[in-house]
């Protein structure tokens, strides 16, 4: 396993649509391991392959609490099949947008179809934080970021601020 550098806004790769994974090989398993290590190292609960510069439809998630046993899982080619009727609001952060939190209203539950790391196609019912995290990470696979939920003006101001900080900061997130 290896920690990878997390790609930060405004890098254009974050706006590209990730490609479907046709076959799960040793290379995909290594990528999943790297994503988990990178996510845990950065105190995240989810990470999409595009966030480390790999345009493949893979996400890793672990929404377990710090005092609980880890419950990591990898979703390959995830697709949301349906959403619940209720909504919930979470203050979402993103490893690609440091020190930024945005309140976002999303469907409280969803059913996601995906392939696991062993190649098994499955459906999973999700609600609460897990549902929010899955929706957030699938948005990454489609080139959508949490800042897209802001007004155009707020989004432009935030991107300028992040660009300025990126150019003047010596801090690197890996």
Known catalytic residues are 137
Cα 119 → chain centroid: 21
Question: E strand or H helix at 112, and its extent?
Answer: strand 109-115
Distance CA 99, CA 162 (A): 10
Q: Which of 29, 38, 83 is nearest to 56 (CA)?
A: 29
Residues sharing a CB contact under 8 Å with residue 153, sequence separation 6 or more, in sequence order: none
Distance CA 103, CA 7 (A): 22
Residues sharing a CB contact under 8 Å with residue 44, sequence separation 6 or more, in sequence order: 95
Distance CA 112, CA 27 (A): 24
Q: Which of 142, 146, 122, 127 is nearest to 85 (CA)?
A: 127
């Amino acid at each position: 396993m290896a920690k990878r550098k997390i790609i930060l806004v405004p890098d254009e790769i974050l706006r590209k649509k990730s490609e479907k994974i046709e076959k799960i090989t040793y290379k995909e398993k290594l990528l999943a391991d790297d994503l988990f290590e990178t996510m845990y190292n950065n105190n995240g609960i989810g990470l999409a392959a595009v966030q480390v510069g790999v345009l493949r439809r893979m996400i890793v998630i672990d929404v377990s609490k710090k005092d609980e046993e880890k419950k990591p899982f990898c979703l390959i080619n995830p697709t949301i099949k349906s959403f619940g009727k209720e909504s919930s609001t979470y203050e979402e952060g993103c490893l690609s947008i440091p020190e930024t939190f945005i309140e976002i209203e999303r469907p409280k539950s969803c059913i996601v179809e995906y392939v696991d790391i062993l190649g098994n196609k499955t459906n999973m019912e999700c609600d609460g934080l897990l549902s929010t995290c899955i929706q957030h990470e699938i948005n990454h696979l489609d080139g959508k970021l949490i800042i897209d939920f802001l007004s155009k003006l707020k989004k432009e101001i935030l991107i300028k601020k992040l660009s300025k900080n990126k150019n003047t900061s010596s801090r690197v997130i890996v």
